[in-house]
Amino acid sequence: MDAKKPTVVTPWPKQGLSDHVRAAPEPAVPRPSREKAEEAVRTLLAFAGDDPAREGLLDTPKRVVDAYDEMFQGYRECPLDVLDKTFGEIGSYNDFVLVKDITFNSHCEHHIMPFFGKAHIAYKPVERVVGLSKLARLVDVYAKRLQTQEHMTSQIATALEEILKPQGVAVMLEAEHMCMSIRGVTKPGSLTVTTQFSGLFDNNPQEQVRFMTMVRGGQR
């Protein structure tokens, strides 16, 4: 006899969701053409002191624009679409779900320099769970935009809380910022840690301790 397939519940209603959760952001200004973007790269190459017309840099503007399309694809993605489907067959499970060490890379909005690290996400479901890979995809939706780490932490937590409506959410990001490591104070290896808790994680210090213990457990 075939195993019973898990119940899939979809979609979630869009009422009452924050703008950044409900849809991909609308462009604040018309998107420049690819030609204009490549010309802007040539200008920056010349500003740095090099010759955009020399052989090694001839294709650099095209490569940079291609890279921008990939690195900032989060502007064209919607968190609600990522968490749209959930599964209702969880038996008697009544604890939080934790996915830790989700690697990410983003760019700081102040210098357009990379910051990268790991995200740790936990939520306590109410009758339904989301696919584990979707939590990693949610991180990437927000990471692949110009960001601050604080804002990114808040956005991830808010999306989980508003869409899944769980008993509680815990989000922790740890990242190294190149704008601090290779310029300015030049302190490589420094980590920035941000957290946001809601529901039972915010109201119950013991659940925060369990979350932190499980995140730190086994780390070398």
What amino acid positions are annotated as catalytic residues? Answer: 108-111, 149, 177, 179
Which residues is 86 bridged to in the sheet? 9, 130
**Which pairing describes strands 8-9 and 114-124: parallel, antiparallel, or unpaired?**
unpaired
For helices 34-48 and 60-71, angle between their N-to-C axes, nearest 10 degrees: 110
What count of other Cβ atoms lies within 10 Å of the Cβ of residue 147?
18
Write out the E strands in 57-164. 86-87, 97-108, 114-124, 129-130, 146-147
Nearest Cα neighbor of 145 from 68, 75, 70, 64 is: 75
